[in-house]
Amino acid sequence: MDVITVPLCMARVINATGVVLHTGLGRAVLPASVQKAMQDASGYVLLEVDQESGERGERIAPFSNLISTVTGAHAGLAVNNNAAAVLLALSALVAPGKVVIAHSHLVEIGGSFRLPEVFAQSGCQFVAVGAANIVRLEDYIEGLKQGAVAIFVAHHSNFWFQGEHEEPSLAELVCLAKNAGVPLLYDLGTGAMLDLSRWGIDVGMTVGGAVEMGADLVCFSGDKLFGGPQAGIVVGRKDLIDKLLHHPLYRSLRLGKNMLAGLCAMLEIYRAGEEKALVEIPTLAMLVEPSDKIKARVERLMMLLPLDITAQCRVAETTSKPGGGTLPQVELPGWAVAVRPQRINLRELAHRLRMGDPSVWGRLSGKDLWLDMRTVANGEVEELAGVLSKAIS
Ligand SMILES: *Cc1c(COP(=O)(O)O)cnc(C)c1O
């Protein structure tokens, strides 16, 4: 009888691809305090009760309070992912009415999230205005005249414009929405909380920035630049958030106790300030890590390899990517070990590494397999050396 080997459910991976938010490998690496909070919430917890009165409470209340403090919004909620957040917002606030959106904002974020289809699924209609590259305020005004009851703005997460491109600023659209008496819904997607321009990384609009500018609702992913567990987070006006919470879909999309605990722990880190966030949130720490620190890990890996293997490896400069459909223009300069195996071919080496314990994922390029050390933690270097030595010998 054949022995069927069943892969371990979600075996651990060393991500040497250099893609910080690798969707295939689980996007954000969670901070230690978040992992602990999620584990601590595994037994009985104060989930939907009020400790003082003993009455039934609302599970989202602690999260809502914390996210309001951190982002400056009036209220907030969280659901399973950002796709769910957008679906919920459209279902609760627009359907069966119309929403106005620029043609240039009708985006697709990874196969199954295509805005026109999400609109259809939520039961709302849309009025697409402007041209593929250019949309003006007058176009939105025209769309509103056709009976739209909301303005929808989608962040260009996974692509950028080159050449002729124009659109009204968020401030202009907020002003238009206010005058027309309709809400402005902003799908910010990537959900950057901090401005990283000091490190040469342009994250575009931050969550706090969008709230401050007056977007009525802002939704974003928990596991992209926010750096937490998979979730969709919505912040904004309290009356709108309440409508979302009272919509029947919310019940189908709501989060469990571990996830809520994890998100609250994330917000505690952000509340403690930028400095702490940049150290404790691995996604952010990896994005801003200076390349000499990465080079030190490359050199340590080389030192740990047996001599005959070192001969097949070279230290090389490389660029890593934020990934996860975020910041497509950003390239982060760093260092990698480029491996050129002599006894086996490249594909065989990649296969052996993937089948290792832990499973190691690198990047094939030309005649080499690149192990980008930006996304490999200090504590993983020794293990990586072990898996590589075994695979190549
Ligand atoms: C990533 C993204 C989504 C989907 O978010 P998930 O959390 O992956 O469901 C939706 N809209 C935008 C603009 C995004 O960047």
Instruction: Report in angstroms the alpha-carbon separations of 214 from 47, 186, 236, 239, 262.
Output: 31, 10, 9, 14, 28
What is the residue with the minimal CA distance to atom 3 of ligand 1?
A: 189
Q: Which residues line ligand 1 (CB under 6 A)?
A: 81-83, 109, 113, 154-155, 157, 187, 189-190, 221, 224, 232, 325
Angle CA 262–264–265, to nearest 5: 65
What is the residue with the minimal CA distance to atom 15 of ligand 1?
A: 189
Residue listed under structure tokens 């030190």: 296
Residue 157 banded pLDDT, cuts 50, 70, 90: confident
Look at residue 354 and tell me whether its pLDDT is greater than 90.
yes
Domains present along the chain, CATH in parentheses? 13-23+284-392 (3.90.1150.110), 32-280 (3.40.640.10)
Q: What is the DSSP letter of 53?
A: T
Residue 143 banded pLDDT, cuts 50, 70, 90: very high
- CA of residue 265 to ligand 1 center, whole Å: 22
Instruction: Report in angstroms the alpha-carbon separations of 291 from 117, 294, 299, 304.
Output: 42, 5, 12, 20
Average of per-residue pLDDT across 144-159: 94
| pLDDT for res 6 | 64
Look at residue 1 and tell me whether its pLDDT is greater than 60.
no
| pLDDT for res 379 | 97
> What pLDDT digit, counting tens, does each position of 161-216 carry?
999 999 999 999 999 999 999 999 999 999 999 999 999 999 999 999 999 999 99
Q: Where are the alpha helices (DSSP H) in the chain?
A: 32-40, 61-71, 82-93, 115-122, 137-145, 170-180, 207-213, 238-245, 248-253, 257-271, 274-280, 282-288, 291-304, 307-310, 346-354, 381-392
Look at residue 4 and tell me whether its pLDDT is greater than 90.
no
Least confident of 32-36, 98-102, 162-166: 162-166
What is the residue with the minimal CA distance to atom 2 of ligand 1?
A: 189
Q: What amino acid is encoded at 158 in this protein?
A: N
% of the chain with per-residue pLDDT over 70: 98
The span from the CA of 341 to the CA of 257, in Å, is 47
> What is the model's pTM?
0.95
Name the average pLDDT for the chain: 95
Residue 325 banded pLDDT, cuts 50, 70, 90: confident
HSE value, Cβ hemisphere, 13 Å, CA-based, for 163: 2
Residue 3 banded pLDDT, cuts 50, 70, 90: low
